[in-house]
Structure 1
Amino acid sequence: MRLPKDGPIMVVGRSGQVATALARSGNPRIRCVGRPDLDFDRPETVTAAMEAINPVMVVNAAAWTAVDAAEDHVEAATRANRDGPALLARLCAQRDIPLVHISTDYVFDGRKGSPYVESDPTCPRTVYGRTKREGEEAVLAAHARAIILRTAWVYSAHGKNFVKTMLNAGEKHPTLRVVGDQHGNPTSATDLADAILKIVACLESRDWSEDMAGIYHAAGTGDATWHELARVTLHEAARHGRPMPEILSITTADWPTPAERPADSRLACDRLSTVFGIRLPEWRQSVARTVTEILGPTVS
């Protein structure tokens, strides 16, 4: 069975970075929906949205992503990250339509010492990571045509994210202190949206097979520390006439947070390339494009 080449693709999480990137892709099939029209805290709205849109495919880009706040709001994070996705998966299974569900590198504890592959055991250290892992498990248990994309360190020109935070801080402060002992894969929301649309194209051109289902890692190519990501971001901003602050590398212990971050959550993304022929761009190139999108043309 192939994905129809017409009919709406419902994207859940209307105000989020990935949903915004999909909406801005220009694909006329994308139908973004979010609160209050679809609210995981009100399950009846999920069913109503599915009936109203009648999609041929669903992308779930909605989640509780406030990592620290989740520590004190366990039930709300569970509804957003486990129960809501599980309901979506059941509804997609009833309709026999594919579901792409976005997950996170925080399902790992960051102690492996090398990039994680999809089959590595999960061991989340936070409420956010635990509820996202439970969401993965619930989605896979409910639907045989589910594709889970674990991603990491997402940024874009829209919403709240690290790149925008660094641009704002760099304009206001001559010296910045940024954690330099956590490692991951910076990922452009635009690149992730492009990867999802390439998966759509694959499902349109190929019959569904069981090996398409399951978990994939989908993150920017190459890895960095937060300090490196800040440095590249602000060097790009300097090309646009912004001041270049001094960026000091500090340790995780110097910047304590309520939720423990993985020290090394790098993701190996080979399965996405093997099955779908997709590899996301090198992260520095995508940071440069994002900074240009935010700040405009470079200063000559």
Structure 2
Amino acid sequence: MSEHTTDQATEAFVAHRNLLFTVAYEMLGSAADAEDVLQETWLRWVEVDLGRVRDQRAYLVRITTRQSLNRLRALTRRKEAYVGPWLPEPLLTAPDVAEDAELAESVSMAMMLVLETLSPTERAVFVLREVFDFGYDEIAAAVGKTPVAVRQIAHRARKHVDARRPRETVSASQSRAVLDSFRRALETRDLQGLLDVLAPDVVLVSDGGGVKQAALRPVAGAGKLVRYILGGLAKTGVEFTTASTVVNGNPALVVLVDGEVDGVMATRVDGSGITGLYYVRNPGKLTRFGVEVPLTLR
């Protein structure tokens, strides 16, 4: 490959890198695996005859999708041996991501968990069609199916996801207000304040990965959850504080114990209050959390 061609390949890859990372992350739920997929995509991209590529963006997404599908199948096997609930790797995102409602919903912890319930091919088709608005022909080339089959898969996946979406979406500012109330009640151990901000059917999912202590099963119901949280805080005897942040495009909390980061708590909020709490304590999923990750749908 000539130096000029290499420069062209590099320029195209860099121009679409944030998009490719977002595609890979939405399919895998792991920034580490998404980065590996981008490396694999680059190695294949530099071998492509660019003179025969009509749409570089679509071609790069096709490579990324195929590599993501290969890795997703391996990830599925790893998750089967995971200790306790598995949560996606939380991403520190810029505040403006939260203002892009479509992007913020697509990468929210709640949506990422819904995507976990799809098969690998359904997930790829849904992400490319519903999130990134690719055409059926482009998706078919990426997943190795016919356009007709892709239409059927897209319909099935959309129906599955719609049944599991939040009942009522709220704005970023509303979510921040709810989370601020939760934060104040949590730090002051305000029993009634916590019950006021939590939906009756709220569910806590915590991920320690077998490295840090976490509930091995989801904790469901506001009363049970408040007893679990306040009971745990009463036993620890440590200094417990929180800090507001933006995780996966949505308001969230960094939890600090004796001044050190203990975990990241993302939320799902609808008209009834907080319906989901997602607490990632697994240190392996927090190694990149100090750096903002640029995400984009375009």
TM-score by length of 2: 0.31
TM-score by length of 1: 0.31
